[in-house]
Structure 1
Amino acid sequence: MRNQIIAQSPALQQIHSPEGADQVRKAAGPAQGFEDTLRGLMSSVNETQHRSEAVTDAYQRGEITDVAKVMLARQESGIAFEATLQTRNKLLNAYQEIMRMGV
């Protein structure tokens, strides 16, 4: 299944090829700041949520008949949200631990 997903996405094919991974690293340029990275990840999760909602609405209208595609989009959205929530919890715990440290 993993290979099928990689085969369908040109971007994933580029990343998984040995020379493609080097090109992606070089194209990324200098490292971004924490805020930029976090903002980018949040917008990515938001896009995933909107895409899932759009696919679900299209299924309800009868435009899409592939239930597997709808369920996959909803699962992807749920996993992205759960990962974001867990990241927030870890960051909050780290902040609280730092605040408890003695000076």
Structure 2
Amino acid sequence: MKTSIDQSLIQAQMQRLSRMAKAGGDAAITNPAEVNQTPQNNFGNVLSSAINKVNHYQQQSAMAATQVEAGDGGASLVKAVIASQKASVAFQATLQVRNKVVSAYQDIMNMPI
């Protein structure tokens, strides 16, 4: 259930950022209700939270795989595979974000002054 809430929160934030980009950056920030004044939503905290979530998925995957390998009666192979795929998808998404950030940094550094 929490994953569903997290996904809807991320999707709402992505839609807000998309509207801002289409309207030309600062021009889209006309509704003060859309602007989060809380310091917990800055880029560093969002990035840290996303990395912690990926780590959590990987830990869950490892624990589920260990339970299946140990023959724990309550462990399900299907749940272990799903946990593994969640961890894999989350890691690949994080890797793609990292690649885009590095590319943007290199583009900025190569700009003439």
Do both proteins adopt the same fold according to a TM-score greater than 0.5, normalized to the shorter chain? yes
Question: What is residue 4 of structure 1 aligned with on the other side?
Answer: none
When residues 97 and 37 of structure 1 are mapped into structure 2, their CA distance, relative to the original with a 3 A threshold, is same
TM-score when normalising by structure 1: 0.71
For 2:108, give the aligned amino acid: I
The CA distance in 2 between the partners of 1:98 and 1:45, in whole Å, is 28
Q: Which runs of 5+ in 1 are unaligned?
A: 1-8, 22-27
Q: Tell me the equivalent position of 1:3.
A: none
The CA deviation at 1:49 is: 0.4
> For 1:38, which of 47, 54, 57 is the aligned residue?
47
1:19-64 superposed Cα distances (whole Å, 9 cap, x missing partner): xx8xxxxxx8726111111111101100110010000000111114
Aligned residues of 2:64 and 2:75 also touching (Cα < 8 A): no
1:10 Cα offset (Å): 6.5
Distance change (3 Å), C-alpha of 1:47 and 1:29: farther
Q: Distance in 2 between matches of 1:54 and 1:29?
A: 38
Question: Which of the residues 80, 96, 100 maps onto 2:110?
Answer: 100
**Aligned-residue RMSD, C-alpha:** 2.6
2:54 partner amino acid: V
Is there any run of 5+ residues in structure 2 with no aligned partner, and where?
A: 13-35
The verdict on how the C-alpha distance between 1:71 and 1:11 changes in structure 2, with shifts beyond 3 A counting, is closer
Q: Which amino acid aligns with 2:4?
A: L
Structure 1 segments, 4+ long, off by >4 Å, are: none
* Map 1:1-103 → 2, pairs under 5 A: 9=1, 12=4, 30=38, 32-63=41-72, 64-103=74-113
Q: Indicate the percent of aligned positions where both proteins have the same amino acid.
A: 31
In the alignment, the residues of structure 2 paired with residue 61 and residue 39 of structure 1 have an alpha-carbon distance, to the nearest angstrom, of 33
- Taking structure 2 as the reference length, the TM-score comes to 0.65
